[in-house]
């Protein structure tokens, strides 16, 4: 029997951080054994905000290197670059015609990003972004989409569009489900535990980048905000500490309870020093693996991936075109 499919992607649009790893990639690595897995570098999504062309090219390859160095195995999973498969844009156009403007207007990611860009200069692409994401997911008969919490609203819209299309034109799309894990779905900013850790944060003290060196990790963790009091406890009344304990727990596979026990009677500074070491112990071998991957090797894997997914995308798009009445 065929394995059910998962699909997910990351934009090559800024410094990837441990939130991206813990919220998304770490789950992909686990799921790739049970699922037919497709992981995409979504460069077409990245250009919904201005990008420097040379940087975009460099980051696109870098994101693929992050996937591989994190443990995505190209023998088990398929990796490709979104813009290599033009069917994504074609299906997005078709889905545009069944989506409603208010459905996009209420997307919180759009509202946040449009506000940052200044409403007058936000692109139409930024507005339409969730439709392209729906197209990514629906093209491949995806059943499960492993993401962080910030993407749940987009997946809800994807489900709505798939249901609407199926109702209008007959069963065509699988209705996908999101996959998240409670402790990792929303890693918060180190400088502000009320906002998520973000690639586009204005301060580098918001995040630990996957490329940060030891000294930087220690400096950032030292500066990370903490709550009042001094006890190392894991609960909602100490959101900053809860976030740091989550990061510690997810990277070391020790439960929050065990971490609490380990630091009874110790100070925030003891815990923070240990957390910095836990992060460094994860990042050092990861970065070594990344450094070993050549651009040529990675491009080869991405081209191989595009070759594998192209027939799937073509088949689904052909079916869609036929259903809506395009002359074949
Ligand atoms: P992107 O590039 O912003 O983020 C990539 C993944 O990282 C997760 N993530 C987080 N998880 C936990 N805590 C955080 N602080 C955190 N920040 C980011 C995101 O939820 C995401 O899973 N629209 C998507 C990319 C995309 C996509 C798709 C995803 C395009 N097409 C199809 C799934 C399926 C995005 O902007 O992710």
- Centroid of ligand 1 to alpha carbon of 19 (angstroms): 9
SS3 category, 120: helix
* Mean predicted confidence (pLDDT) in 178-190: 95
pLDDT, mean of residues 74-83: 98
Q: What Rg, from alpha-carbon coordinates, does the chain have?
A: 21
How many other C-beta atoms are found inside a 10 Å radius of the C-beta of residue 5? 20
Catalytic residue positions? 113, 196, 199
Residue 14 confidence (pLDDT) above 80: yes
Q: Is the domain of 148 the same as that of 11?
A: yes
In a 3-state reduction of DSSP, which class is residue 275? helix
Average of per-residue pLDDT values in the chain: 96
CATH number, residue 244: 1.10.240.10
Pocket test for ligand 1, best of 27, 29, 150, 244 (most atoms within 8 A of CB): 150
Q: What is the pLDDT of residues 189-211, one digit of tens each?
A: 999 999 999 988 889 999 999 99
Q: What is the CATH number of the domain that holds 99?
A: 3.40.50.620
Which of 1-5, 27-31, 86-90, 253-257 is predicted least confidently?
1-5
Q: Give domain status of residue 172, yes or no.
A: yes
CA 253 to chain centre: 21
Taking the CA of residue 42 as reference, the ligand 1 atom at the shortest distance is 30
Cα(322) to centroid(ligand 1), Å = 32
DSSP 315: H
Same-domain status, 280 and 229? yes
When divided into structural domains, the chain yields a total of 2
Kindly state whether residue 198 falls inside one of the protein's structural domains: no
Q: Which of 9, 85, 126 to mutate to test the pocket of ligand 1 (most atoms within 8 A of CB)?
A: 9
pLDDT at 1: 63
Q: Are residues 282 and 309 in the same domain?
A: no
What is the rounded CA–CA span in Å between residue 218 and residue 207?
12
Residues 92 and 12 in one domain: yes
Q: What is the pLDDT of residue 119?
A: 76
**Co-location of 255 and 124 in the same domain:** no
pLDDT of 48 strictly over 80: yes
- Same domain? For 217 and 144 the reply is no
The pTM of the full predicted model, rounded to 2 decimals, is: 0.96
- Using CA atoms, how far apart are residues 64 and 305, in angstroms rounded to an integer? 11
Phi/psi of residue 6, nearest 5 degrees: -115, 150
315 pLDDT above the threshold of 80 = yes
Q: How far apart are the first and last CA of the chain?
A: 32
On whether both 117 and 235 belong to a single domain, the answer is no
Q: Is 112 exposed, middle or buried (0-12, 13-18, 19+ CB in 10 A)?
A: middle
- Residues 244-265: pLDDT tens digits? 999 999 999 999 999 999 999 9
**Residue 213 and residue 83 share a domain:** no
Is residue 281 pLDDT above 90, yes or no? Answer: yes
H/E element, 144: strand 144-146
Whether residue 133 sits in one domain with residue 245: no
Q: Could you tell me if 110 and 19 lie in one domain?
A: yes
Kindly state whether residues 171 and 46 are assigned to the same domain.
Answer: yes
Contact between 204 and 220 under an 8 Å Cβ cutoff? The reply is yes
Q: Which tokens go with 56?
A: 């975009």
Full residue range of the structural domain in which residue 220 is found: 204-290
Q: For residue 116, name the pLDDT band (cuts at 50, 70, 90).
A: confident
Are 240 and 308 in the same domain?
Answer: no
User: Does residue 188 belong to any structural domain of this protein?
Assistant: no
Residue 269 CA to residue 265 CA, distance in Å, equals: 12
């Amino acid at each position: 029997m065929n394995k059910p499919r998962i699909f997910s992607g990351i934009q090559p649009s800024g410094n990837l951080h441990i939130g991206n790893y813990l919220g998304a990639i770490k789950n992909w690595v686990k799921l790739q054994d049970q699922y037919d897995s497709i992981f995409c570098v979504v460069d077409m999504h990245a250009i919904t905000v201005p990008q420097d062309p040379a940087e975009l090219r460099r980051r696109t390859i870098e994101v693929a290197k992050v996937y591989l160095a994190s443990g995505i195995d190209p023998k088990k999973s398929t990796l490709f670059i979104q813009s290599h498969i033009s069917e994504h844009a074609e299906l997005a156009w078709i889905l545009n015609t069944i989506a409603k403007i208010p459905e996009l207007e209420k997307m919180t990611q759009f509202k946040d990003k449009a506000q940052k860009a200044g409403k007058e200069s936000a692109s139409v692409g930024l507005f339409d972004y969730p439709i392209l994401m729906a197209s990514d997911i629906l093209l491949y008969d995806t059943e499960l989409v492993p993401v962080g919490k910030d993407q749940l609203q987009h997946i809800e819209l994807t489900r709505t569009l798939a249901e609407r299309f199926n109702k209008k034109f007959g069963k065509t799309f699988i209705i996908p489900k999101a996959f998240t894990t409670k402790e990792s779905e929303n890693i918060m900013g180190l400088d502000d535990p009320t906002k998520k850790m973000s690639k586009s944060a204005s301060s580098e003290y918001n995040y630990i980048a996957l490329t940060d060196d030891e000294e930087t990790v220690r400096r950032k963790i030292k500066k990370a905000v903490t709550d009042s009091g001094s006890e190392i406890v894991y609960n909602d009344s100490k959101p900053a500490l809860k976030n740091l304990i989550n990061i510690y727990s997810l990277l070391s596979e020790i439960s929050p309870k065990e971490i609490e026990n380990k630091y009874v009677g110790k100070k925030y500074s003891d815990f923070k020093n240990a957390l910095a070491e836990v992060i460094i112990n994860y990042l050092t071998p990861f970065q070594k693996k990344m450094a070993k991957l050549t651009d040529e090797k990675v491009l080869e894997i991405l081209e191989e991936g595009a070759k594998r997914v192209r027939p799937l995308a073509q088949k689904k798009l052909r079916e869609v075109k036929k259903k809506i009445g395009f002359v074949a």
